């Protein structure tokens, strides 16, 4: 059991540092993309959903299932003890944990740490201790993580924020597709309002033929900054909002991609690991569950046939080589789609950072053999007081994963369930993250429905 986990940890350490005997300090700063955006450009308004940030900021607990035994994970609060006991019984959660002095729910993990001098001092002492060979491994690097690295003296094991910002731009993905000859959805990159108008003129025939277009913020995250355009009136409304901003701010720069909407059978996500010498390892492909541009989970394995899988694999290796040439190494995930004609569009965008799939890797290696199926999913809860882990586990009962049966729900983040709690009796939304393991897609569906029913009953009771 430990050998499998250590094997992946060792591969990641070798890829990022060229060494095996190092300590990784994991900083799982989800939605770092928000810090890569240029403040000097125009943007369409983006909806913010209440306490969603509070929940996203506790997704760092997913790192419990990624870190190795000799590693350290930085957290906003200590995990629930019963949750950790269950994780350790399955071979996970054996890394050290260091928490912030005070968890500010509105701050992401890096910002929170930067406001905790004692924690920074503790990590500086770690970096200076004799025999310690530690590296900081963030979800992705922004100016914040670079500052944290400087203050603690723990070097980053990944590239600079400038490289991350460059290769995570959706326009960069399109330009790379054109350079490499990778099949690409018809569209244009727009860096000014004039280019957006010109791009729309090139693509509006799609609307006239009954199709749709989609306007994407090139640095958008989690479904933010995506606008589906079904007719010219919708486009002109977007332009009107942008022109109004342009008049107030005196700028006309934007960073958007305008593309044809492709009707699809499913979304796909695949990962690669690029090492410091330029080697590219294909880590596999999964079906992505996406609603309104927001990631909901993964289905494993994908439904791709051998020919379609080879298209993905070939694109993965070529994209990895290009990313390395442009200064990037580490984990990268690419979004793709399988359209209704059975055609693979191999690269909608590059997510050169950790992906949700990254946090499932050890679970897959340990508990998801080739003859089993997996469904990684988040469940939404509506609660009005704290939900104890023991209560949840008891209510789920035999739906919880047990190695002897080889099926059930393996919970890999509990902190997000209660992250938005403020006061007793006040309604809030929580999320439960887990991976369902079963012998077939049909069995996955049965277990998933049963879990939904249990959680629904908890919502009603509470």
Residue 86 tokens read as: 């269950």
Task: Find tokens 């770092």 and name the residue.
Answer: 32
Q: What integer best gives the mean pLDDT of the chain?
A: 93
Q: Rounded to two decimals, what is the model's pTM?
A: 0.94
Provide the angle, in degrees to the nearest 10, between the axes of the packed helices 193-203 and 232-249. 170
Is 353 a residue whose pLDDT tops 50?
yes
pLDDT digits (tens, 9 = 90+) for 4-22: 344 678 889 999 999 989 9
Residue 33 tokens read as: 């993309």
- Going by the DSSP 8-state scheme, the letter that residue 407 receives in this structure is B
Q: Would you state the pLDDT for residue 461?
A: 55
d(CA 453, CA 17): 46
Is 2 a residue whose pLDDT tops 70?
no
pLDDT digits (tens, 9 = 90+) for 164-210: 999 999 999 999 999 999 999 999 999 999 999 999 999 999 999 99
pLDDT digits (tens, 9 = 90+) for 264-318: 999 999 999 999 999 999 999 999 987 766 778 899 999 999 999 999 999 999 9
Q: Would you state the pLDDT for residue 221?
A: 79
Closest CA to 123 of 132, 60, 29: 132
Q: Would you state the pLDDT for residue 266?
A: 95
d(CA 293, CA 288): 11
Share of the chain above pLDDT 90, in %: 88
Q: Would you state the pLDDT for residue 292?
A: 65
Q: Give the full edge-to-edge strand order of the sheet including 408-413.
A: 344-351, 330-339, 264-274, 280-291, 294-300, 373-383, 428-438, 408-413
Share of the chain above pLDDT 70, in %: 96
Looking only at the bridges linking them, the beta strands covering 428-438 and 408-413 are antiparallel
DSSP 304-322: --HHHHHHHHHHHHHHHHH
- Going by the DSSP 8-state scheme, the letter that residue 22 receives in this structure is -
Q: Would you state the pLDDT for residue 293?
A: 65
pLDDT digits (tens, 9 = 90+) for 391-436: 999 999 999 999 999 999 999 999 999 999 999 999 999 999 999 9
pLDDT digits (tens, 9 = 90+) for 228-264: 999 999 999 999 999 999 999 999 999 999 999 999 9
């Amino acid at each position: 059991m430990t050998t499998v986990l250590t094997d992946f940890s060792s591969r990641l350490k070798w890829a990022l540092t060229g060494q095996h005997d190092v300590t990784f300090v994991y900083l799982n700063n989800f939605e770092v993309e928000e810090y890569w955006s240029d403040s000097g450009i125009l943007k369409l308004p983006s909806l913010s959903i209440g306490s969603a940030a509070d929940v996203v900021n506790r997704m760092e607990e997913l790192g419990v299932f990624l870190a190795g035994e000799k590693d350290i994970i930085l957290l906003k609060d200590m995990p629930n003890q019963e949750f950790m006991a269950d994780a350790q019984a399955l071979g996970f959660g054996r890394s050290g944990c260091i928490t912030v002095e005070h968890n500010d729910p509105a701050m992401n993990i890096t910002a929170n740490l930067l406001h905790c001098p004692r924690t920074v001092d503790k990590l500086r002492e770690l970096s200076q201790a004799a025999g310690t060979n530690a590296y900081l491994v963030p979800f992705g690097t922004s100016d914040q993580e670079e500052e944290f690295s400087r203050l603690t003296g723990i070097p980053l094991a990944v590239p600079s924020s400038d490289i991350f910002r460059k290769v995570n731009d959706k326009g960069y993905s399109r330009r790379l597709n054109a350079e490499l000859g990778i099949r690409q959805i018809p569209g244009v990159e727009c860096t000014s309002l004039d280019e957006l108008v010109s791009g729309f003129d090139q693509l509006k025939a799609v609307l006239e033929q009954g199709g749709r277009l989609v306007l994407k913020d090139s640095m958008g995250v989690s479904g933010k900054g995506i606008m589906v355009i079904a007719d010219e009136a919708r486009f002109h409304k977007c332009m009107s909002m942008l022109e109004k901003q342009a008049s107030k701010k005196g700028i006309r720069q934007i960073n958007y991609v305008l593309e044809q909407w492709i009707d699809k059978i499913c979304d796909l996500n695949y990962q690669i690991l690029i090492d410091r010498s330029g080697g590219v390892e294909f880590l596999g492909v999964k079906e992505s569950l996406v609603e309104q541009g927001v990631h909901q989970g993964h289905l494993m394995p994908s439904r791709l046939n051998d020919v379609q899988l080879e298209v993905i694999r070939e694109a993965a290796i070529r994209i990895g080589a290009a990313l390395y040439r442009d200064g990037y190494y580490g984990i990268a995930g690419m979004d793709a789609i399988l359209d209704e004609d059975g055609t693979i569009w191999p690269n909608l965008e590059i997510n050169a950072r950790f992906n949700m799939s990254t946090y499932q890797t050890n679970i897959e290696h340990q508990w998801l053999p080739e003859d089993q199926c997996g469904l990684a999913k988040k469940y939404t809860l509506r609660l009005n007081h704290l939900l104890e882990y023991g209560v949840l586990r008891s209510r789920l009962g035999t739906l919880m994963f047990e190695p002897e049966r080889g099926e059930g729900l393996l919970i890999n983040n509990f902190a997000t369930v209660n992250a938005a709690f403020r006061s007793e009796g006040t309604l809030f939304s929580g999320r439960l993250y887990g991976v369902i393991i079963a012998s077939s897609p049909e069995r996955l569906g049965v277990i998933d429905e049963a879990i939904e029913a249990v959680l629904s009953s908890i919502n009603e009771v509470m």
